[in-house]
């Protein structure tokens, strides 16, 4: 069985040709809609923060050491320090 777009490979005797499949329907009209749907599914909120250069340098050092992303580290920090029960 060979792909319908394959013009190089010969047909094998006794094997029917592959049927053409219709293309998969797009769920989202744009990448922005796709990203918005991802955030809605994961219940995420996008925020922008401004950090001083020295704080950003320290954060980058911690991220390299831990091997994690900014979101994971900041989420854990906020939950353990700011949102803890007192």
pLDDT tens column, 64-86: 999 999 999 999 999 999 998 87
Confidence label for 18 from pLDDT (cuts 50, 70 and 90): confident
The rounded radius of gyration (Å) of the Cα atoms in the chain is 25
C-alpha distances (whole Å) from 54 to each of 19, 51, 61, 74 are 61, 8, 11, 17
Region 18-22: mean pLDDT is 81
The CB density around residue 85, as the number of other CB atoms within 10 Å, is 3
3-state secondary structure of 68: coil
């Amino acid at each position: 069985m060979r792909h319908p777009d394959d013009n190089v490979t010969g047909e094998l005797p006794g094997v029917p040709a592959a049927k053409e499949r219709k293309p998969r329907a797009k769920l989202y009209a744009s990448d922005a809609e796709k990203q918005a749907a991802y955030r809605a599914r994961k219940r995420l909120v996008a925020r922008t923060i401004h950090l001083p250069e020295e704080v950003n340098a320290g954060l980058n050092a911690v991220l390299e050491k831990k091997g994690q992303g900014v979101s994971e580290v900041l989420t854990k920090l906020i939950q353990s320090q700011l949102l803890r029960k007192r």
